[in-house]
Amino acid sequence: MPVDLTQSLVIGISSRALFNLEKEDRIFREEGLEAYNRYQIEHEEDVLPPGAGFPLVQAILQLNTLVSERRQAEVVIMSQNNANTSLRIFNSIRHHNLDISRAALTSGAPLAPYLRAFDVDLFLSATELDVQKAIDAGIAAALIYEPPQNFNPLTDQLRIAFDGDAVLFNDEAEKIYQNFGLEAFVAHEATYASQPLPEGPFAKLLKTLSYLQSGLQIEPSPLRTALVTARSSPAHERVIRTLRAWGVRIDEAFFMGGVSKTEILKAFGAHIFFDDQDAHLRGASQVVPSARVPYPSQQTVEAIIDNGGIPSNDQELIQVGG
């Protein structure tokens, strides 16, 4: 009987987001695909060190040890590597004792068409093009940043933090702020305070996490979420009413009003933080694993201009292993 993944939280993660493959990526760029393939095969028994997404994956898989009746979460390796060069990835998974058994290895073909085949709820990659295609396909996806130094994650609780506008909610309100200023934004949100915000790309993921929390029936919950938004009073009301209308649980909420999010995220101890703006993520990624949520394609050029250009770590779109 086929395994049904629709009842589990499914994370698709690229090999370069899970492990540190920067050296290998450099070989690919400087010496080419053949040299990269040869290096991977020659070093099959060399264990890869953890990458930015490693603490998140560890914490997600830990959920499966809490309830014996069924698995709560699954992780799928999604890579543009070919099968012949991927033994090192599987050997590293086994060495790190990660309970991962599924993979999609596409030999350079796009990954996005296979995300729905695995019922992926969240896709993390170090390749912007793959992330963009996933977002355009309606799947929660984010470009993971380089990992922070000396990050010591909690081992007994999974912690995920979200920005609000353009992440959990759509970017309707943010566009008003960007185009007409703070006063117009505040007036708009006050007028529509009782009307729920439209869903953003990560709304479904938050609902899935909330469903898992309620199903585990463990307190304190092994899963904790936080909203960390630049909004402040009175624009907080519409957010609270939206989450109430969705029937979801947010454990902690921080309305920053322009104050840096970095120290809050450090104190919260997020295994990952999702935001749409590089300006927030530059500081956040120094203290917790962080990932940028791109705008859908029709908004991408506008968003890049608004954010002050493409950050240096995103200039290359095609990278080894995704």
Closest CA to 47 of 88, 98, 100, 101: 88
What digits encode the pLDDT tens for the residues 237-267?
999 999 999 999 999 999 998 899 999 999 9
Measured CA to CA, the distance from residue 94 to residue 298 in angstroms comes to 41
Residue 21 · residue 320 · CB < 8 Å? yes
pLDDT category of residue 105 using cuts at 50, 70 and 90: very high
What digits encode the pLDDT tens for the residues 287-322?
999 999 999 987 543 443 344 333 333 333 233 444
Q: Which segment, 99-103, 147-151, 155-159, is predicted with the most confidence on average?
A: 99-103
pLDDT value of position 290: 97
The model's pTM is 0.87
Q: Which of these CATH numbers, 3.40.640.10, 3.40.50.1000, 1.10.3720.10, 3.40.109.10, describes 5-144?
A: 3.40.50.1000
User: What are the tokens at 119?
Assistant: 């019922």
Evaluate whether 5-144 and 158-288 have a shared fold: yes
Residue 322 · residue 14 · CB < 8 Å? yes
Distance of CA 56 to the CA centre of its chain: 9
Distance of CA 226 to the CA centre of its chain: 14
Spatial neighbors of 106 by CB under 8 A, at least 6 apart, are: 79, 80, 114
pLDDT value of position 1: 60
pLDDT value of position 136: 95
Residue 226 · residue 254 · CB < 8 Å? yes
How much of the chain, in percent, has pLDDT values that exceed 90? Answer: 65
Measured CA to CA, the distance from residue 64 to residue 59 in angstroms comes to 10
Burial class (CB in 10 A: 0-12, 13-18, 19+), 129: middle
Domains of the chain, by residue range, sit at: 5-144, 158-288
Closest CA to 134 of 10, 246, 297: 297
Radius of gyration of the chain (CA): 20
Q: Which segment of 34-48, 68-82, 244-258, 261-275 scores lowest on mean pLDDT?
A: 68-82
Burial class (CB in 10 A: 0-12, 13-18, 19+), 306: middle
pLDDT value of position 281: 96
pLDDT value of position 31: 94
What digits encode the pLDDT tens for the residues 193-207?
888 999 999 999 999
Is the pLDDT reported for residue 61 higher than 60?
yes
pLDDT value of position 62: 93
pLDDT value of position 69: 76
User: What are the tokens at 165?
Assistant: 């506008």
Mean of pLDDT values over 18-38: 92
CATH class of the domain whose range is 158-288? alpha beta
Which residues are catalytic, by number?
Answer: 163
pLDDT value of position 254: 97
pLDDT value of position 308: 39
